[in-house]
Amino acid sequence: MENNLDDRPEMQELFRNLKVKLPKLEELLINCGQGGYEDRVYRFYHQSFKVYALQDMTMEIVAILQSLAPEHPLNEWFMQIIREGTGKTFILQDNMNWLAATRPILEAFFHARYFLEIAVKYGKELEYPPQLLPSGWAAFLYLYNLR
């Protein structure tokens, strides 16, 4: 273990916060899957304004992810995807350009949900933050600019 332990203070804090908030992360992941996620993706294909509700779920995920390392800004690319896919209000003209109007909403949600899934997976599987990185954990570290 000691040879593979990432003992950087910021890594230890992130990992400690991940373990503490794991029950809340798991609950949020379950909520993402209970109708909300499935129904909202369906709404995209049904061309329903209800797809816009994914933005709330996305922002809830982003908030809890940020709370794991509040002193570290989240990855710039990730935040650009989030900005481009949130803060949108449905207008009738969106129906004329549905893909351009709504795909960023789905993209933002999918990226946020990916990192939530990774947080839960490695929060359960890892006993300490490793130096030898599984791909998912490495991606998670990129979220906090720690890789």
pLDDT tens for 77-97 read 999 999 999 999 999 999 999
Q: Are 75 and 111 in contact (CB under 8 A)?
A: no
125: left (phi over 0), alpha (psi -120 to 50) or beta: alpha
**pLDDT at residue 131, as a whole number:** 86
Q: What is the mean pLDDT of the chain?
A: 93
Residue 38 contacts by C-beta under 8 Å, 6 or more apart in sequence? Answer: none
Each domain of the chain, given as residue ranges in start order, spans 2-143
**pLDDT at residue 104, as a whole number:** 98
